[in-house]
């Protein structure tokens, strides 16, 4: 059986990845655009967070900065799409590429920054919480806060407008809503949460690496798709929790794969395969969720 | 109320596919007027409505709605005073959102789209009360997603959403063309109910000449981007489908159905 350290590690990092998955959920599910900016913006968030921490800045402020730079990255992708009419997918790729250089600049030209000796949000709570559960509790608190924020935001008028923009742009414009503005807000917020996840990740694992973003969008998509398929999408709250659980489950799958001896380098291939299979089998619609299958079986047996 | 002055719209200018969709067209509508628009394919009917709605801007000419020049305003800003129903029933609603959420978007047309609650209980009461007027039982299905509705129900809902904020102008682009006859009749009935208001101008495109003469109080026929006929009052009352066909040598079977 996997050791407690591995289980805790999967749970703790899973909660951070859950925030990234919520960000991806906003672009992929709400706006219905797969946004590749994520691979870059997660590093931008991590880089900003790491730099502020190494300079002795407040680690909470560092996370706020991560969120803001993430928003900025998303806004650029959205503007490329809205103003220059570049396809969303291509706009994301362009921004992702450009961000590589920007991330390197933020990190003062170093590909890797270590945070071992610097204060992080976790260190600030040492002594207040039992050390064993410190990371777990703090990550859980931030994740729950993010879920609640998401829930209430998506229930506001702006949230409605955002969701409708993903569904039907014609209807949105006919309803007096600026669909371009909604795309800008949506992609900004989406990448803001991705940046926040990056910033937390840097403080959690104690370093920021310029290549850490590779495949993050696929991890996010896998979390969204798996989570929804396994835990259901009946209501908005359910769906947000499902996506978060998907991310945590995904970390467990990775931990398990490593535990049974899979080389770490193969993990990205596995991620790609998971998403491919999920997309191919149409694990996307409601009839394919585990919940619906159980219900169908019950009906059959009844 | 609505003044369209000398507008023109050419698609693909300078290419082999160049087409004058609208050719120096003018039309004025008074409050309470319900204009039905007929004409064969390519006559410019949809282009006219799309120019008014702001889907695209005319190349020249002016559009004035309720005393305000709207020629260059973006589509979403014009929408605040214009209700629209499209031909495709899928286009009128956000399919992955519930009926009440769709209605909430419609009723928020002239409100700011900020962080206020998307839907309040007061809104729900209004929706329930007004939905029952449609006579489709939708008032008991408000938490269901719009994608579960039939085409007729969707068009009825879209029509209702279009008029819920009491716009100045209602634009209907063959909104019953994709429906079966029974649903089409139902939606046309609702169109009469909502459209015959003395505060509202309505423009309805239809391929059905009989319907064009039966509904509304004014009928125009478009040919090659111009208005070839504009009748109302007694002249319209005396007009029959047969005399229309005779007068304009209409060869389009679809219009006769």
DSSP-assigned beta bridge partners for residue B231: B219
Helices A216-231 and A38-54, packing angle to 10 deg? 110
Note whether B76 contacts A176, CB cutoff 8 Å: yes
Query: Which residue of B83, B91, B105 is the best one to mutate when testing the A interface, meaning the one whose CB has the most A CBs within 10 A?
Result: B105
What pLDDT score does B112 carry?
87
In a domain, A141, yes or no: yes
Q: Give me the phi and psi of B37, to 5 degrees please.
A: -120, 125
Note whether B116 contacts A179, CB cutoff 8 Å: no
d(CA A113, CA A41): 17
- Minimum distance, in Å, between the CA of residue B180 and any CA atom of chain A: 23
- What is the number of structural domains in chain A? 1
A26-47 per-position pLDDT tens digit: 999 999 999 999 999 999 999 9
d(CA A302, CA A292): 15
- Minimum distance, in Å, between the CA of residue B129 and any CA atom of chain A: 21
Number of Cα atoms under 13 Å in the Cβ half of residue A258: 15
Q: Is B133 helix (H, G, I), strand (E, B) or coil?
A: helix
In a domain, A80, yes or no: yes
B contacts of A170 (beta carbons < 8 Å) = 86, 91
Residue pair B169/B52 in contact (Cβ under 8 Å)? The answer is yes
In a domain, A292, yes or no: no
d(CA B237, CA B217): 9
Number of A to B CB contacts under 8 A, please give it: 90
What pLDDT score does A119 carry?
85
Ranges of beta strands (E only) in chain A are: 112-114, 207-209
What pLDDT score does B256 carry?
52
In a domain, A127, yes or no: yes
Query: Which residue of B85, B89, B94, B161 is the best one to mutate when testing the A interface, meaning the one whose CB has the most A CBs within 10 A?
Result: B94
Burial B68-78 (b: 16+ CB within 10 A, else e): eebbebebbeb
In a domain, A59, yes or no: yes
In a domain, A108, yes or no: yes
In a domain, A191, yes or no: yes
Q: How far apart are the first and last CA of chain A?
A: 38
Residue pair B166/B199 in contact (Cβ under 8 Å)? The answer is yes
Find the domain containing A97 and state its range: 4-215
Residue B27: band (very low, low, confident or very high) from pLDDT cuts 50, 70, 90: very high
In a domain, A226, yes or no: no
Residue pair B135/B152 in contact (Cβ under 8 Å)? The answer is no
Residue pair A155/B118 in contact (Cβ under 8 Å)? The answer is yes
Q: What is the CA radius of gyration of chain B?
A: 19
pLDDT by position in tens, chain A (length 302): 678 888 999 999 999 999 999 999 999 999 999 999 999 999 999 999 999 999 999 999 999 999 999 999 999 999 999 999 999 999 999 999 999 999 999 999 999 999 987 788 988 888 888 888 899 999 999 999 999 999 999 999 999 999 999 999 999 999 999 999 999 999 999 999 999 999 999 999 999 999 999 999 999 999 998 898 889 888 899 999 999 999 999 999 888 888 888 898 888 888 888 788 877 776 555 455 555 555 666 666 65
A186 reaches B (C-beta below 8 A): no
ipTM given for this complex: 0.89
| Angle, CA B3 vertex, CA B37 and CA B172 arms, to 5° | 35
Note whether A163 contacts B94, CB cutoff 8 Å: yes
Structure pTM? 0.90
What pLDDT score does A39 carry?
97
A86-103 per-position pLDDT tens digit: 999 999 999 999 999 999
Ordered domains of chain B (ranges, CATH) = 2-93+149-256 (3.40.50.300)
> By 3-state DSSP, what share of chain A in percent is helix, strand and coil, each rounded to 5?
75, 5, 20
């Amino acid at each position: 059986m996997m050791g407690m350290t591995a289980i805790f590690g999967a749970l703790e990092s899973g909660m951070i990845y859950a925030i990234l998955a919520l960000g991806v959920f906003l672009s992929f599910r709400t706006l219905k655009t797969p946004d590749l900016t994520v691979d870059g913006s997660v590093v931008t968030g991590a880089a900003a967070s790491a730099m502020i921490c190494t300079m002795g800045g407040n680690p909470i402020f560092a996370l706020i900065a991560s969120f803001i730079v993430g928003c900025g990255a998303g806004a650029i992708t959205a503007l490329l799409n809205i103003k220059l009419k570049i396809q969303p997918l291509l706009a994301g790729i362009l921004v992702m590429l450009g961000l590589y250089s920007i991330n390197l600049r933020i990190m003062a030209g170093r590909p890797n920054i270590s945070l071992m000796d610097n204060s992080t949000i976790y260190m600030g709570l040492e002594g207040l919480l039992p050390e064993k559960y410190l990371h777990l509790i703090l990550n859980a608190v931030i994740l729950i806060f993010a879920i609640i924020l998401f829930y209430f935001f998506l229930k506001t008028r702006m949230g409605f407008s955002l969701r409708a923009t993903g569904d039907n742009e014609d209807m949105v414009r006919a309803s007096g809503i600026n669909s371009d503005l909604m795309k800008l807000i949506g992609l900004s917020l989406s990448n803001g949460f991705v940046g926040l996840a990056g910033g937390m990740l840097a403080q959690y694992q104690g370093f920021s690496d310029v290549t850490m973003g590779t495949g993050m969008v696929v991890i996010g998509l896998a979390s969204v798709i798996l989570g929804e398929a396994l835990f259901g999408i009946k209501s908005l709250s359910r769906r947000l929790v499902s996506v978060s659980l998907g991310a945590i489950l995904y970390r467990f799958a990775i931990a398990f794969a490593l535990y049974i001896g899979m080389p770490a380098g193969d993990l990205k291939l596995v991620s790609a395969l998971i998403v491919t299979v999920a997309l191919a089998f149409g694990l996307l619609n409601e009839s394919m969720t585990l919940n619906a299958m159980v219900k169908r079986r019950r009906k059959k047996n009844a | 109320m609505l003044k369209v002055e000398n507008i023109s719209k050419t698609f693909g200018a300078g290419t082999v596919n160049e087409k004058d969709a609208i050719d120096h067209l003018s039309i004025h509508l008074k409050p309470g007027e319900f204009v039905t628009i007929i004409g064969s394919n390519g006559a410019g009917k949809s282009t006219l409505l799309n120019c008014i709605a702001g889907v695209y801007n005319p190349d020249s000419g002016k559009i004035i709605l309720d005393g305000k020049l709207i020629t260059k305003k973006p589509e979403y800003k014009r929408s605040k005073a214009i209700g629209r129903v499209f031909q495709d029933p899928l286009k009128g609603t956000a399919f992955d959102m519930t009926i009440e959420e769709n209605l909430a978007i419609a009723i928020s047309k002239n409100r700011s789209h900020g962080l206020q609650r998307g839907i309040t209980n007061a809104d729900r009461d209004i929706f329930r009360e007004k939905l029952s007027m449609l006579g489709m039982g939708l008032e008991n299905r408000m938490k269901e997603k719009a994608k579960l509705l039939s085409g007729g129900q969707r068009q009825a809902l879209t029509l209702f959403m279009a008029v819920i904020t009491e716009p100045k102008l209602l634009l209907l682009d063959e909104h019953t063309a994709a429906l079966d006859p029974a649903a089409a009749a139902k939606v046309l009935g609702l169109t009469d109910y909502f459209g015959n208001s003395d505060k509202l101008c309505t423009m309805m495109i239809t391929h059905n000449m009989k319907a064009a003469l039966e509904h509304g109080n004014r009928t125009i026929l478009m040919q090659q981007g111009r208005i070839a006929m504009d009748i109302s009052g007694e002249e319209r009352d005396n007009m029959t489908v047969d005399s229309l066909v005779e007068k304009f040598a209409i060869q389009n079977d679809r219009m006769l159905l």
